[in-house]
Structure 1
Amino acid sequence: MIGVNKPTNGHFKGQTKPTGQQSGLHGTSQLPSAPIIRSSIPQSSGGIKFGDDWKKCLELPQKDNRVKTSDVTSTKGNEFEDYCLKRELLMGIFEMGWEKPSPIQEESIPIALSGRDILARAKNGTGKSGAYLIPLLERIDLKKDHIQAIVMVPTRELALQVSQISIQISKHLGGVKVMATTGGTNLRDDIMRLDEIVHVVIATPGRILDLIKKGVAKVNKAQIMVMDEADKLLSQDFVILIEDIISFLPKDRQILLYSATFPISVQKFMNKHLKKPYEINLMEELTLKGITQYYAYVTEKQKVHCLNTLFSRLQINQSIIFCNSTQRVELLAKKITQLGYSCFYIHAKMMQEYRNRVFHDFRNGLCRNLVCTDLFTRGIDIQAVNVVINFDFPKSAETYLHRIGRSGRFGHLGLAINLITSDDRYNLKSIEDQLVTDIKPIPGSIDKSLYVAEYHSVDPDDDDDGTLWP
């Protein structure tokens, strides 16, 4: 038995053994306990003068040469410059590594810039965040010192992610103030932050409504409201809060709805609150084209052994492993560590600062494996994840779709493996039928070209420096 250190805030540490994962990464970190997201990055115009070739001055990330599927490449051929965006915003877009608009961005950006309401349906991982953040930031007026836009999201992790993207692409705009506010954080800090200038608020519904009712977040002049993962925001958990928030907005506001799945609740909301919305539907098929799906038929007792076999045979850059309960998440994370692989875990019952730490560290490549509940299915974008494993098979097609969408982000290749017991077999067939997708029996060996790109191979020096390469 390999010794296991006591779990620390979602981080397990175990002795690592050589496997198909090619030296698992240790779960230690030198990073701060939680990323700071409330204060805006210092803004500057980059010192670009009229007549300069401004593109030469950009600090571009390494070019992503991985294969991309038609989910993001089947475009009209537009360029970001075609939308008459501010040069400073274009600088931030290109420095994010976004070279050309994806299909949802092509359809959405010009309509959103015109001020019209939008109901957009597009697959997970195809650029929805950019589709609404780019026009939103373009329309911010720095001469006005009030809240001009609100982005509603269902989870704290997604709020953190969207706020970081907003800050990055607006960093040359000369003073756009972005703030994230979520439950589970210090309310006093948010009240003090709102005493200063804030232009864009990215929030979970409960917290922003609390701040609005306290008279701290004044949204009566907010012209734009975005709902990301709108199907979740309009579920029974949130819909009353959303309706309440809208009652504080001006009557001439613009509402943008984005989601991969659109249940009847979304249709009802649209009929009530949107004015002649422009409808976008890029969902001719539901699952991402780059994700290969398999199932392994096992008993409950065989699941951990099967997982160990997968770890030893697959070339995993990073994996997300889903369980159906918080208790099973912690038990499985412990088992994985006992098998000799480093592992993080995350679920809704953890303190927020620990959740932030795990999310931040995993996103920065400090561990290969993350065990979680469905908390982590909504909008979370970690490019290095190429394998998703459903240790427990989900009950609904919608949950399945969001889970496997954590791999194959932005048209890249990914692998989804489902551990199926006899109790799951009817559910498997039902989900295949609903999503019109084919989940095949797992073969003896899986072709690496289906889910591995050279761009994200493991560090050839194999020096276990705690980072993914490049």
Structure 2
Amino acid sequence: MAQSSTAVAQRGEDAEWKGKLALPPKDTRIRTEDVTATKGCQFEDYFLKRELLMGIFEKGFEAPSPIQEEAIPIALAGRDILARAKNGTGKTAAFCIPVLERIDPSKNEIQALLLVPTRELALQTAQVCKELGKYLGIDVVVTTGGTSLKDDIMRFHSSVHVVVATPGRILDLAQKNVAKLGTCKVLVMDEADKLLSEDFQKIVEELISQLPEERQIMLFSATFPVTVKQFKEKFLKKQYVINLMDELTLKGVTQYYAFVEEKQKVHCLNTLFSKLSINQSIIFCNSVNRVELLAKKITELGYSCFYIHAKMLQSHRNRVFHDFRNGHCRNLVSSDLFTRGIDIQSVNVVINFDFPKNSETYLHRVGRSGRFGHLGLAVNLITYDDRLNLYKIEQELGTEIKAIPPQIEERLYCS
């Protein structure tokens, strides 16, 4: 269809001011095809508001990734979406951009709810929204459990257009009639498989009952178990399915295992620290106690180390997350709290000090490295008791986890 002269002129102006923006230095690191195999679209092709484009380019986004190319135009059309794409391929912007485009800042009402399973992910998603919508005059509020309910109530008395929340807290505010969801026509569920687990599903369905009849629901995740299929059939009308997951594991992550006895694990970890070129690493344990004990051991070995788990005070968790993200520490020991959607692109090594029990947990852990198509390394410390689990996860994910060689080439995980 021919474009009007006004639209063409607008594009020319946009290109001109885009060139004048003080953009971050261009990222020249090697990237894998799960973010580079695009159709060649540009953000300007979606006829987004000029102010939104300014936020997109100022954040350093040059062109849409595959999931953004697929999701943005469908979301802008108001369709329900079920989107499956790999960790670290740009899912957050794939829903934030169309959500922000469709907000009317002149209306002082909640127009979109972005639901996430963890507090850290809520803070991170809200930050992306605020940065992308910097020039739009849109008010984004983040509300999670573990923070002052009184402060949240005060925030909702001011202007609110977009809410980023964990399920329990926003339902509490909705039931108190503080967060009025009757005008909220867009619901996004990030890490949807977790939000539809037994922990959250009833809360999510209660929230949906408070939304208007005419609404748009978008589900994003890397894995979609049976619970998602049941939810889809119940709540999504004529949904558009996006599946960019021909294979489950990230292309850019090299995976190894080291066969050890339990008592050898700390020594093995020390050897890895001395041999690997670690930019930042996340080391996963299967319990809170082991997280704290291992962090103490790593510090005693002379390496900088933080730890994070769900039983810590929220203020402490926020500080650890913020400081690690800003590069104040090289290593972070974590429980599975930290596997969901946390995007720290400088993490190039993930170590499973304790091997996970299932393939979904493994996938989400490993996905903390190799963010947005960059290269990463995953090393799994395997005991005799883990051997069958290793085989099962390889089969379920259709991948091969190889025995660790004496030397690991830097080109495999250092872009």
Question: Taking structure 1 as the reference length, what is the TM-score of the superposition?
Answer: 0.85
Name 2:5's counterpart in structure 1.
none
1:212 to partner: Cα distance:
0.1
* Whole-angstrom distance in 2 between the partners of 1:51 and 1:154: 41
Name 1:131's counterpart in structure 2.
94
1:94 to partner: Cα distance:
1.0
1:172 to partner: Cα distance:
1.2
The percent identity for this pair of structures is 70
Name 1:308's counterpart in structure 2.
270
Tell me which of 247, 254, 260 is aligned to 1:285: 247
* Whole-angstrom distance in 1 between the partners of 2:141 and 2:21: 25
Name 1:225's counterpart in structure 2.
187
The AA in structure 2 aligned to 1:201 is: V
Name 1:339's counterpart in structure 2.
301
The alignment status of 1:65 with 2:13, answered yes or no, reads: no
How is 1:232-271 mapped onto 2 (pairs within 5 angstroms)? 232-271=194-233
The AA in structure 1 aligned to 2:21 is: L
1:54 to partner: Cα distance:
1.3
Gaps of 5+ in 2: 1-9
* Whole-angstrom distance in 2 between the partners of 1:69 and 1:282: 14
1:95 to partner: Cα distance:
1.2
* Whole-angstrom distance in 1 between the partners of 2:358 and 2:402: 18
Name the one with the larger helix percent.
2
Classify the secondary structure of the residue corresponding to 1:116: coil
Classify the secondary structure of the residue corresponding to 2:414: coil
The two structures, once aligned, show a CA RMSD in angstroms of 1.1
1:97 to partner: Cα distance:
1.2
* Whole-angstrom distance in 1 between the partners of 2:166 and 2:71: 23
* Whole-angstrom distance in 1 between the partners of 2:108 and 2:22: 30
The AA in structure 1 aligned to 2:115 is: M
Tell me which of 162, 170, 173 is aligned to 1:211: 173
How is 1:66-465 mapped onto 2 (pairs within 5 angstroms)? 66-173=29-136, 175-453=137-415
The AA in structure 1 aligned to 2:351 is: I
* Whole-angstrom distance in 1 between the partners of 2:400 and 2:56: 36
* Whole-angstrom distance in 2 between the partners of 1:177 and 1:361: 26
Classify the secondary structure of the residue corresponding to 2:349: strand
1:51 to partner: Cα distance:
5.4
1:131 to partner: Cα distance:
0.5
* Whole-angstrom distance in 2 between the partners of 1:268 and 1:165: 30
The AA in structure 2 aligned to 1:71 is: D
* 1:27-85 Cα deviation digits (max 9, x unpaired): xxxxxxxxxxxxxxxxxxxxx9x958311331211211000000100111100100000
* Whole-angstrom distance in 1 between the partners of 2:361 and 2:283: 14
* 1:413-466 Cα deviation digits (max 9, x unpaired): 00000000000000000000000001000000000000012xxxxxxxxxxxxx
* Whole-angstrom distance in 2 between the partners of 1:152 and 1:55: 32
Gaps of 5+ in 1: 1-47, 454-470
Greater RCO, CA 8 A, separation 6+: 1
* 1:247-276 Cα deviation digits (max 9, x unpaired): 000010100000100000000000000001
* 1:303-344 Cα deviation digits (max 9, x unpaired): 000000000000000000000000000000000000000100
* Whole-angstrom distance in 1 between the partners of 2:328 and 2:110: 36
Question: Taking structure 2 as the reference length, what is the TM-score of the superposition?
Answer: 0.96
Classify the secondary structure of the residue corresponding to 1:220: helix
The AA in structure 2 aligned to 1:84 is: F
Classify the secondary structure of the residue corresponding to 1:371: strand
Classify the secondary structure of the residue corresponding to 2:354: coil
Classify the secondary structure of the residue corresponding to 2:63: coil
